[in-house]
Structure 1
Amino acid sequence: MLNPHNQTSTHILGSEVEWPIENPDLLPPGFALGSGLNRGHLLARQLCGIGTDRRNLVPLYSLVNTSAMKRYENRVKKAVDSGETVYYAVRPTYDGDNPMPTSIVLMAWGDRNARFVARIPNVR
């Protein structure tokens, strides 16, 4: 939940990761250095997401991370900046045991206008 007073309440399950990453075992499952993938934040940095918390990171293709998700994240940020209280949830979906998400589901419910549910395929 984000509110206009920049207070956040976030619930993320998992374990934290050191930063800078010196141990490759602490990278998100499915991520490989030099693979062209991004360490995608489920809760975006602009929405107070932590990039040093492995529970908040998944491997994403660049366009998914920097373009498709960012459009929705910007909508949430704009709503919060205008004083709207927004419940925002992001959920990666997986195919079997594959550690690479097949898609990302983003959901927002605001007390004014911020409302959407979107599924973004994690493809090149």
Structure 2
Amino acid sequence: MALKFMCGTSATKPITLVLLLVMLMVLQTGQALAARKVLTVPEFSQQPYDKICWATSASMIIAYFKGDTIDRDVEIAKDKYGSNFNQPAYISDTEYYVRKYTGKAGSIQLILSHIPLCSTK
């Protein structure tokens, strides 16, 4: 449909239709953005330990899914390493413990790696 830029009522119909279509598209986009949600995930600290951020992350996710505020980071790290638990682990370990405690299998996408960040300094 071509737009006609002429005076009169017949010329304004195509322009009105285009404006209505644009408004509909904008409203649809606004509804999609409004569907986003901020999750209330409990915040825990890995301190005083310096290498169990993986277990702390798992603990926060587990607490969210269970609807509680129990910090399980040391418990999780001890389950993996025993008494010498202040050690790093892989993201797959975080996934494993979330699945173990909640029964929910998930996936991790677009993870930010520490190595590229170090190489930019």
| Larger Rg belongs to | 2
- Structure with greater strand share of residues: 1
TM-score in terms of structure 1 length: 0.24
- Structure with greater helix share of residues: 2
TM-score in terms of structure 2 length: 0.24
Whose relative contact order is higher, 1 or 2, with alpha carbons under 8 Å and at least 6 apart? 1
